[in-house]
Amino acid sequence: MTTNEKVWSRNLVLAMLVNGFVLAAFLGQTATVPIFAHAFGASDIQVGLNAMVATLTALALRPVVGWMLDGHGRVPALLIGLVLLAAASAATAFVPGLLLLYVCSAVRGAGFAFTSTACLTLATDAIPHSRLSEGIGHYGIAGILASAAGPTVSLAVAQRYGFPALWIGSGALVALLVVLALFIRSVHDDALAVRKKDEQACAEWLAGENAPQKLVLTAPVVVPVVLNLLVFLAFGSIMTFLPLLIVDRTIVGGGLFFTVQSVATLLVRIFGNRLGERYGYRRMMLTALPAMVFAYLLIGFSANLAMLLVAAAVYGLANGVVQPLVSASLMKSTPIPQRGKANALYMAASDIGLSIGSILMGTISTLAGLGPVFYIASAFVAVQFLVVGLTRAIPGKGRKAGGTP
């Protein structure tokens, strides 16, 4: 293993910046659209439908995005996504009613499908193969900061200057990111450009690293995608039902959960990203997943702020370990010419898991109460532990995915 290769590069930093600002704008709009929709007299069901339109549009387009990333280039796909996001954001300021708001949400979901998948693929292309988990962990820092800042800043802007200023400002911010995107270089895009001049050179690139003509769904590809699906099936409980549990149990200051969790995850991403490469992805995941099971169970039993914040810290640390390793496992098993499709499949699993998880947990909450929601979430994490432990699809120390020495 080559350990002196540099993780940081201009391309990685630019991909992080573009992804961070896009995510901040997207999450900020997601947090404020329900309030904006209520101004049109929308019911809670109609507000939920609006969110579902964006999610389903993104999910439906993931295969198209993957095909375009690999067949036509990472940067062109990113530019398409930025244009769609900017247009949808700015247009939302002028919508006269719910129908056109749904249209803008669909376009916003399409833009996010392109930008999020393209940025992740550009980042993984830029990270040395021997330091994938470390680099992906660093890449995720931008997302953590965006998740914390986006909704807060957007709500403040809407309250002070009004929704039209928020939408137009978000659109302008995303449009400016086009300039940054133009400075990102991709080895894959460069190889595709050669095709116009030299068919043989391009064919050699596409056949490099034994790349198949289509993404082959082997265990080292499927298992990380399944793990990501399980991650987001469980995560839906925190996003949707933790605030309800805090209110139901009158836990004063319970909102600090998200702050503590974000700080813990950030610390792991900054200081612990080399652990996967040093000790093996499989060993680190088998260490972190039981801690995540404990965190979900503790949330379900939490009766006061201290219990909840302990759960937040444990969850943040465990999640900070697991998520980059799952993504890096997939990338280690995928040749560069096929990473667009692989990342599209990976992110589609996130969309499906979050959507199904929210519906499933809502049913459980209605039938059994809020506590069992988190007990079921812990069961999903336990299944992840079994999948990692019983398969050899996740790389170990000095071992490739699939168990090959």
Boundary residue ending a domain (206, 230, 259): 206
Residue matched to tokens 């002070």? 160
Mean pLDDT of all residues in the chain? 84
CATH, residue 308: 1.20.1250.20
Q: On the CB side of 161, how many CA atoms lie within 13 Å of its CA?
A: 12
Asked whether 394 and 329 are in contact (CB, 8 A), the reply is yes
Within this chain, do residues 232 and 162 fall inside the same structural domain, yes or no?
no
Residues of the chain with pLDDT > 90, as a percent, come to 34
Q: How confident is the model at residue 2 (pLDDT cuts 50, 70, 90)?
A: very low
Q: What is the pLDDT of residues 6-22, one digit of tens each?
A: 888 898 999 999 999 99
Length, in residues, of the chain: 405
Residue 140 to residues 8, 16, 134, 363, Cα–Cα distance (Å)? 13, 8, 10, 31
pLDDT at 171: 92
Q: Are residues 177 and 265 in the same domain?
A: no
Structural domain contains residue 1:
no
Say what the pLDDT of residue 230 is: 94
The number of domains in the chain is 2
pLDDT in tens, 323-367: 889 988 888 878 877 888 888 889 889 888 887 887 788 888 888
Same domain, 187 and 258: no
Note whether residue 405 is domain-resident.
no
Could you tell me if 67 and 136 lie in one domain?
yes
Which percentage of the chain shows pLDDT scores above 70?
A: 89
- Largest Cα–Cα separation, the chain: 67
Domain assignment present for 5 = no
Q: Is 261 a member of any domain?
A: yes
Let me know whether 133 and 76 are in one domain.
yes
Same domain assignment for residues 164 and 94? yes
Domain C-terminal end among 154, 174, 206: 206
Residue of 341, 338, 299, 334 whose CA lies nearest to 318: 299
Q: Are residues 260 and 343 in the same domain?
A: yes
Q: How far apart are CA 345 and CA 65, in angstroms?
A: 10
Whether 396 is covered by a domain: the verdict is no
Please give the average per-residue pLDDT across 107-128, as a whole number: 91
- Which CA distances in Å does 351 have to 132, 355, 404? 23, 6, 31
> Tokens 């009613």 label which residue?
97
Domain assignment of residue 229, given as a range:
219-390
Q: Quick one: 37 and 139 in the same domain?
A: yes
Q: Which positions ≥6 away from 130 have C-beta within 8 Å?
A: 1, 2, 3, 5, 277
Q: Which residue has the higher pLDDT, 281 or 335?
A: 281
Asked whether the predicted pLDDT for residue 258 surpasses 80, the reply is: yes
Q: Are 159 and 304 contained in the same domain?
A: no
Residues 200-253 have pLDDT tens digits of: 555 555 555 444 445 556 777 889 999 999 998 898 778 778 878 888 888 988
Domain-terminating residue out of 206, 230, 264: 206
Helix (H, G, I), strand (E, B) or coil at 187: helix
**316, 264 in Cβ contact below 8 A?**
yes
The pLDDT of residue 97 is above 90? no
Which pLDDT tens digit goes with each residue over 160-202?
A: 898 899 999 999 999 999 999 999 887 777 666 655 555 555 5
